[in-house]
Amino acid sequence: MQADLIPPDVRARLRGLRLATRAPAGGDGLGQHSSRSRGAGLEFAQYRAYEPGDEPRRIDWKLYARSDRYFVREAERDSPLAVWIVLDATASMAQRDRAGAARDKLDAARVLAACTIELALRQGDRFGLVLLGDTLQAIPAGSGARQRDRCLLALAQARTGGAWPTDAALRPLFERIAPASLVVFLSDFFDDAAVDLAVRLALARREIASVQLIASDEHDFPFRGSHRFVEQETGAERRVDAAGVRADFLARFTDARRNLAQRFAAAGIRHAGHVLDEAVDAPLRVLFGSASGAGR
């Protein structure tokens, strides 16, 4: 299943990527991320007074000789990151790359989600999955190969449909996704409510890395003659002369993408756009490559 979702050339390019947050991770355990958790570790953090139950080997005896008091050395511990993939599976994600093309936005989102899971698995991080469509489906965060397989099965079975969930349906996300988690948000962001959710999560101290998925036809508007366009989620129809509306559509579409990027930047959200005819791992390289600005 995993091999089906991630093409071999994409898998090879993942080796140069690393999931990371700008702020230190805050969990417990072993991983590849700097943590604010204190305890036995490698990098010195601070001294604190000895307390009953502390291991004698952690006492700094040289400091004791100078001060005649017991102090324990504390160190920064490496801690695994909690990674959540939030995937938009509403009706608009059924938009295909071009007329007659086999791949749609959901297909691209599946591959990006599988790549993110693969990176988290390699790093020893915990990861979970949220699918947002007719219903909210969540796989709690876990680690290891079995957790990967659970998430990949849910991705393979995901289907597009419906409109964006209500605020009441989304409320449990703020309990499931803990502060300081990394959230990889995959959507076309055509619904303002999806944008609002990303911003609200960011303001609630979840670190968001967003990918906007765009079909080639939406990006290029290559249509000619009279066309009937149907809104995926509402069923509303509009018939237009393509040549007459092309310039206005492209200008509005460009402005909308620019405004989205600016709003996300103001909320501290890392953002990348992805046109479906580009290499599917390209947005991950923007967000998590060596030049992305992501830190430990």
**CA-wise closest residue to 106 among 188, 195, 6:** 188
**Topology given in CATH for the domain delimited by 2-24+80-286:** Rossmann fold (3.40.50)
Q: What is the pTM of this model?
A: 0.78
Residues 43, 34: Cα–Cα separation, whole Å: 10
Q: Which residues of 221-259 are buried (b: 16+ CB within 10 A; e: fewer)?
A: eebeeeeeeeebbeeeeeeeeeeebbeebeeeeeeebee
pLDDT digits (tens, 9 = 90+) for 195-239: 999 999 999 999 999 999 999 988 988 888 876 776 766 667 777
| pLDDT tens digit sequence for 33-49 | 544 444 444 455 567 78
Condensed to tens digits (0 to 9), the pLDDT of residues 42-87 reads 455 567 787 665 668 778 888 888 888 888 776 544 557 899 999 9
Per-domain residue ranges of the chain: 2-24+80-286, 34-78
Residue range 282-295: mean pLDDT, rounded: 76
SS3 sequence of 76-98: EEECCCEEEEEEECCHHHHCECC
Average pLDDT over residues 159-172: 91
